[in-house]
Amino acid sequence: MPEQILSINPTTGATIATYEPYNEETVNNALTIAQKGFGVWGKMSFRERGVVFRNIAKELRVQKEDLALLATREMGKPIQQSRDEVEKCAKTFEYYAKEGPKFLADEKVETDAKKSYVSFQPLGVVLAVMPWNFPYWQVFRAMGPALMAGNTMVLKHASNVSGCALAIENVIKKAKAPKGLFQTLLVPSSRVEGLIDNPIIAAITFTGSTHAGSKIAMAAGRNLKKQVLELGGSDAYVVLEDADIEFAAELCKNGRLLNSGQSCVAAKRFVVVKSIRKEFEKLMVEKMQASKFGNPMDSGNKIGPMARHDLRDQLHAQVLKSIEMGAKLLCGGYIPDGEGAFYPPTVLGNVKKGMPAYDEELFGPVAAIIEAKNETDAIRVANDSIYGLGCCIISKDIKHAEQLAAKEMQAGNCFVNDIVHSDARLPFGGVKHSGYGRELGIFGIREFVNIKTVFIK
């Protein structure tokens, strides 16, 4: 008897729903439907695909409140952030409906041929393996460019948000999309490699931990299948000596607490020049302590529970280990009484290399403050990580900060005076152990296509 898939409310600990994993026959039927769907969808015009995309965006807005409530129940996201997430998905599909045809138009190249050009053709069925922290956005972020390019998709979502996974499939159906365009597969993680081995799967897009991404890459490599990996991050926010300290502390607090701190591009390490470290630290502690956490259905709470109790306990263990190694607990750092998987906004000072708070990804509302001798040392510390997903430079000297972001920082997304975030118009992805390939923008839509040379003598 296959193990059941449980959806558990992290706010209350109550079971929301129990699902039976799909058997092999059901999965194989779904893959066959996806393959047949590709034969139809891949031949449709961009105009026809655009109509479907706009219908999907419309249906997302029709179901926005129900989708938001479901996400908050399943993984604890503050309710307004859940609504905003659904709206972002709708806007992204409208963006690709408009811009997709231009991004994938044939590109003429002058050669000695009578005619030569580059054509962008779809690959087939894309397998998406997605995490729980943005249960809609992660999926639609991958789905938008892949589907507009002419591919179809099957989704293996994180098991704790299986309700959201099925709700996404329902949105696509309600929008009257062609059969096989998108399907959810309720299967455990142990069966992902078998899916990658299936000859129907043409490519894989994965968002999740670096450890899991390595396994995905090995399975995809064994099968010689294209993959895009968006993995872990330990984003550094560098606060330079000339920064407005009040502005910097507010920005850093907001960047750390977005999605209750459970984001690959959340601010995690705060590298502050020595001359302003004490002032910044004082303000950061005040702002973190003032941030309310509690029932995510209460719009007054900006922080909900962590998505699972085991994840909360793992984060707490990282905090305790860092303190044991010499980090200073400035606020938070305890497990609250009650049933929910809550963790309070926490600040660690005196963080040094070798501590979990310096070396590892802290996936939750914990800020690690690291003192740097000067600007040069701050950039060194920021880059002293196996990760390279995002970073932020905070400074009044915009031109200088821009040069540091563009030339010095080792990350895929480098921001100046703003929290790191994704935008459908810009490529999103990392370097080093944060993965490779890009989602969104023109680069994202060209990841899962055959970049084909056509040459006419």
Selected catalytic residue, list 252, 264, 392, 414? 264
Pairwise CA distance, residues 157 & 151, whole Å: 18
* Known catalytic residue at 392: no
Element (H, E) at 96: helix 79-103
Closest CA to 439 of 282, 447, 262, 431: 447
* Known catalytic residue at 264: yes
Pairwise CA distance, residues 335 & 328, whole Å: 17
Q: What's the token pair of residue 271?
A: 């590298």
What DSSP character marks residue 433?
A: T
Please give the full DSSP string across 117-147, using - where no structure is assigned: EEEEEE-SEEEEE--SSSTTHHHHHHHHHHH
Rg from Cα positions in the chain: 23
User: Taking each helix axis from N to C terminus, what angle separates 137-148 and 46-62, rounded to the nearest 10 degrees?
Assistant: 160
270, 249 Cβ separation under 8 angstroms: no
Pairwise CA distance, residues 340 & 11, whole Å: 4
Selected catalytic residue, list 230, 360, 371, 439? 230
Query: So which residues are the catalytic ones?
Result: 230, 264
